[in-house]
Amino acid sequence: MNGVIAAITLRQLLSRRRTVLLLLLGGLMILVALALRIGAEGANLPRFAAVLLETFGVATLMPLVALLFGTATIGAELEEGTAIYLLAKPVPRWVTLITKLVVAAVCSVALTCIPVLLAGQLAGGGQHGMVLAFTIAAAAGSLIYCAIFVALSLITSRALIFGLGYILIWEGVLAGLFAGTQTFSVRQHTLAIADTLTDAPTAIFSAPLELGTALVVGSAVVVLATSIAIRRLLLIEIAGETP
Amino acid sequence: MTQPEGAAGTRESATGAIYDLGYQRYDGPRLGRRAAVATLFWASLRAAYALKRSGRAKIVPWGLAALLMAPAGVSVAVAALVPGAPQPFTYDDYLWNTQILLAIFVAAQAPELVSSDQRNRVLSLYFSHALERSDYALAKLGALAAAIFGLTLAPMLVLFIGRVLLAADVVDAFGNELEHLPKVILTPLIYAIPLAALSLAIAAYTPRRAYATGAIIAVFIVTAAIGGILGEAITTGPLGDLSQLLNPMVPIDGTRNWLVGESIPDSPVSETGFPLYLFGLEWLAIALIGTAVVLWRYRRVAA
Amino acid sequence: MTAAEGSVGTAVEVTAASRWYGNVVAVNDVTFRLAGGITGLLGPNGAGKSTILHMIAGFLAPSSGAVTIAGRPTRGHPELYRQVGLVPEHEAVYPFLTGRQFVLANARLQGMTPDQASSATERAIGQVALEAAQDRAIGTYSKGMRQRIKVASALVHDPGVLLLDEPFNGMDPRQRLQMMDLLRRLAAEGRVILFSSHILEEVERLAERVLVIVAGRLAASGDFREIRRLMTDRPHTFTIRSSDDRALAGALMGQPMIAGVSLDDGLLTVRTADFGAFSRAVAGVARRADIRLHELLPTDESLESVFSYLVRR
């Protein structure tokens, strides 16, 4: 971890526009939780809280936040041309990459887990330890997502779109249709972790994937994605503007 | 460095000469504003499909087009191989079921149409010609709507043709299916117009494509999530049903239902119990407000 | 004013280096060695200057041939960056950092301790004369100021090799002169300085040695006056003022090495294929004809004429 790179990356990621947009998203989740609290029948509240945490928290907020931070942490610098100042240094490339990944992950976790915690609590999901379970699971999920999107941003210049395709088509549509794809869905990994950490009955919330599979595949994905990212950063070629 | 009007040729004097290199002024007819708008329209339409660009640029729009067509193709193949098998898709629910692909398409391509021009600062070039600012906005809107229309019409036509050709009696089937033709043509149109207006309204406000893409897709998936959660959870009072209206796809489907089609079980349109013309009104509001926002933006943006 | 030969420790060697992208050859079999002093990389836009600079900076691998600094390939050896300072052409810098923070960050990234970095930053900012603006955000800088802060960031770790890609972009004449003075001082301390430009005046004024790149190939290298002398298939042109131009013209026309004389508006212009022979002969011819020579000037020995010749070849 390199402190200078971390500080610069943090300043870059938490730009005003990006932060405001993501805070708004988090705020929306809290508003929906409030609406649930007021409008839904008390008996069903835990189940709807689970739905909120699963549909808004894990399936919408977590991937969007991680996508924006993950593709920006190094992708934006490469596109803008400031990356050359970080790369023309005797700092080993893997240090640079890991630093940026960690900063992106920390930002993602912060802007995902805090709304999840607050909204989940507000919506009455406090029973069965669901809120805490989802918060922890979302932290893990954010990290896996960030690793994937950082690697993606070093592979293609359209990482944002392909990341969206992965989230919305692979995890959204296909994982619903073909059970096999669930093994490689970060969303399902996150839900599996949450399921294990909470003792909520199946009627309220359950995840199809087993914890073991989720942890093994999730960790493997992080390691693989980070390795690919480091390798690509090592070999990256930067031509001048006028070739 | 002036040459006498209309006189092309070498000018000489005792100690110097200017040689005629064949540089000529253009004196022919100049096509006016209409032609400029038409040109911009066609150029933007081509840009939406990434024609005339590298193969890599084509991956996103054509990949999405292929994915959009895939279920129709599969449906036709299944019907061909297993006669009498139940149809997985109807004209009514096809676009509803594939809506996420439409959302990704506009999130990806709307910024290509309008954010790039701002990023590259070429607006001043456009506005210095016969093109008015409003022309630019409307041409872009028209082009994106046309692009979405083409994208969504294709699978519907595949379904249509499949139904006709695979029937036992083709002529008879053609006659039967013909009555569905308005649905086949109008449903894509009902999708195209508000999607174009909404996504362009968002994309026009930022020169950075990544922000535009993120904002557009956020609108779709966040509103869908909210509608889904609250619509199911809040059964007393209007809040639950009203929250369903947040997702732009819902009034689109409602309008389709109202004008040309039947209700779909998956869609929240029927669940809410609102009269169908209400969705039509919201559809109109999205289209008009979106267009107004784009026009306003291009009237105000510094070129 | 020639810089002392730098130690082998920072010699930049480009050996038969080529770089292609598919069918497009950006750099074609270029060879040169830099051991000290200021060298200018001159060429039209798109000639391959940036590509060469980025290969030396280790950001591009040569498709064939070798690019080394101090004997080690520039690619894949990040420790070389301690010895190399790069000023890229691209304008983008972190707009939210102040000038001082930016240079300081670069110093820290080079491995300096906070104290070392702090004093090095002060020195570097002083060298580019940006003390007054160092606490303003770079986003508020003018183009010239941005260039100068980039140079400061490349100098802060006192590198032996300095690579500058179009460094005078956006600088006003006074800033340019100051920058040139700075570069001359640095070169005098034994550094290798390579800068690229397509502006002839800059290269003419600053570079001790010129590498002319045209369409990816090294068209010429060395002192530009020497290059001119080597261009033997083009006659040299001289203007002469004498006490009797017309008589001198007639006398010169009889000499074998003269390609032509012309008398325009009272100015005697002489074209000769053999510079050496002409310079030996002209004094004698004038004396025998009893004509006094007032002025003898080569008229096309400028970098511009050298350059236009090489580009059009």
B19 domain residue, yes or no: no
For residue range B127-174, what is the model confidence (pLDDT) as tens digits?
A: 887 888 888 999 999 999 999 999 999 999 999 888 888 877 778 888
| Number of CB atoms found within 10 A of residue A222's CB | 21
Give every CB contact of residue B86 below 8 A, 6+ residues apart in sequence.
none
pLDDT value for B219:
95
For residue range A193-227, what is the model confidence (pLDDT) as tens digits?
A: 999 988 878 777 888 888 998 999 999 999 999 99
Instruction: Count chain A–chain B contacts defined by CB atoms under 8 A.
Output: 91
Number of compact structural domains in chain B: 1
- Residue A168 contacts B where some CB pair is shorter than 8 Å: yes
The confidence band for A228, taking pLDDT boundaries of 50, 70 and 90, is: very high
Give every CB contact of residue A15 below 8 A, 6+ residues apart in sequence.
none
Q: Note down the domain range covering B177.
A: 32-300
Sheet holding C24-34, edge to edge: C24-34, C12-21, C64-69, C72-73
In order along its 313 residues, chain C shows pLDDT tens digits of 333 334 446 789 999 999 998 888 999 999 999 988 999 998 888 888 999 999 999 999 999 999 999 888 998 888 899 999 999 988 889 999 999 999 999 999 999 999 999 999 999 999 999 999 999 999 999 988 999 999 999 999 999 999 999 998 888 888 889 999 999 999 998 899 999 988 888 888 899 899 988 888 888 888 877 776 666 666 778 888 888 888 889 888 888 888 889 888 778 888 887 778 888 888 888 888 888 988 888 776 667 767 777 777 6
- Residue in the block written with tokens 């006398």: C251
Least CB-CB distance to A240: which of C93, C97, C165?
C165
Q: Is the pLDDT of residue A58 over 50?
A: yes
B10 domain residue, yes or no: no
Least CB-CB distance to C109: which of A80, A89, A237?
A89
- Residue in the block written with tokens 């798109």: C46
Q: Which CATH class, in words, describes the domain spanning C229-312?
A: alpha beta
The rounded distance, in Å, linking the Cα atoms of C81 and C94 is: 20
Which residues of C touch chain A, with CB atoms under 8 Å apart? 26, 45-46, 48-51, 53-54, 57-61, 76, 78-82, 84, 86, 88-94, 96-97, 105-106, 108-111, 153, 165
Three-state DSSP class for B86? coil
B284 domain residue, yes or no: yes
CATH number of the domain at C8-227, out of 2.40.30.110, 3.30.200.20, 3.40.50.300, 1.10.10.10? 3.40.50.300
Nearest alpha carbon to residue B235 among B260, B272, B202, B263: B272
Give every CB contact of residue B127 below 8 A, 6+ residues apart in sequence.
B133, B136, B303
Closest CA of chain B from A90, distance in Å: 31
Three-state DSSP class for C98? strand
Q: Do A51 and B225 touch (CB under 8 A)?
A: no
* ipTM value for the complex: 0.90
Three-state DSSP class for C27? strand
| Residues in chain C within 8 Å Cβ distance of A93 | 78
The rounded distance, in Å, linking the Cα atoms of C218 and C213 is: 5
| Residues in chain A within 8 Å Cβ distance of B104 | 161, 164-165, 168-169
Nearest alpha carbon to residue C227 among C138, C308, C110: C308
CA B96, distance to chain mean position in Å, is 16
Over residues B246-270, the mean pLDDT reads 89
The rounded distance, in Å, linking the Cα atoms of A124 and A105 is: 28
Mutate to test the interface with B, among A161, A171, A205 (most CBs of B within 10 A): A161
- List, by residue range, all CATH 3.40.50.300 domains of chain C: 8-227
Over residues A161-169, the mean pLDDT reads 94
pLDDT value for B119:
85
B119 domain residue, yes or no: yes
- List, by residue range, all CATH 3.30.70.100 domains of chain C: 229-312
Q: Is the pLDDT of residue A18 over 90?
A: no
More confident residue, A17 or B101: B101
Which of A72-81, B10-19, B69-78, C240-249 is the least confident region?
Answer: B10-19
User: What are phi and psi for residue B50, nearest 5 degrees?
Assistant: 60, 30
- Residue in the block written with tokens 């022919």: B28
B2 domain residue, yes or no: no
Q: Do C84 and A88 touch (CB under 8 A)?
A: yes
Least CB-CB distance to C78: which of A5, A90, A241?
A90
Query: Do the Cβ atoms of B48 and B143 come closer than 8 Å?
Result: yes
For residue range B201-247, what is the model confidence (pLDDT) as tens digits?
A: 999 999 888 889 999 999 999 999 999 888 888 877 788 888 899 99
Alpha helices in chain B (DSSP H): 33-48, 55-81, 94-97, 99-119, 123-127, 133-165, 170-178, 181-203, 209-233, 239-244, 249-259, 268-272, 276-300
